Amino acid sequence: MSTDWKQVRSLINAAIDACETYENLDPTEEDRELELSVGEVKLFDLMTSAYTFAENTRYSIIRTRHRGGFDNRYVPEAARIIQAVTNAAIELVGAAPGMTSGRASPSLQEKESRQELKMEVDAMIGWYRDYFSVELRRALEKRKKPAFN
């Protein structure tokens, strides 16, 4: 079974866009009780649904794969890469430059730490984009080609 990378990318981008909107609107603890336009549904319910929807959909995908006879007997390498990068990205939430932990301005140590973090993440982005894909292609070009008689 092949992967619909366009759908995977759209899913991840939609979730990132939703999280960015959430962070930019900066809801408070008191905002959790606000009702949505559909009535009798609170903002807290919407936020809970944002992750439980994904969790439930994951299990639905697993069940569908099972019914179709294409279970994952192991986690494919591409899925492991996405999982590891996603876990790293999770740690970036709330760690952006400009976050000041409630103070008027970040300390020099905070600025240096954030700069180191940015450099490390940028290096990982470059590694995937400029090294991994290039080297993967180069290595696979060396595969033995079938001999034609």
Q: What tens digit of pLDDT does each residue of 4-24 get?
A: 999 999 999 999 999 999 999
* Domain boundaries, position 67: 1-73
Q: Do residues 43 and 34 touch, judged by C-beta distance below 8 A?
A: yes
User: Domain boundary at 17, 51, 73, which?
Assistant: 73
Same domain for 59 and 14: yes
- What is the pTM for the complete model shown? 0.79
Q: What is the pLDDT of residues 59-101, one digit of tens each?
A: 999 999 999 988 888 889 999 999 999 999 999 898 865 554 5
Same domain for 66 and 14: yes
Query: Rounded to whole angstroms, what are the CA distances from 129 to 2, 26, 110, 126?
Result: 22, 33, 28, 5
User: Above pLDDT 70, what percent of the chain?
Assistant: 91
In a domain, 137, yes or no: yes
User: Domain boundary at 47, 73, 99, which?
Assistant: 73
Number of domains in the chain: 2
Same domain for 119 and 54: no
Locate all alpha helices (DSSP H) within the chain, ordered by sequence.
5-25, 43-67, 77-92, 108-126, 133-141
3-state secondary structure of 148: coil
Q: Do residues 15 and 54 touch, judged by C-beta distance below 8 A?
A: yes
Same domain for 68 and 16: yes
Same domain for 90 and 45: no
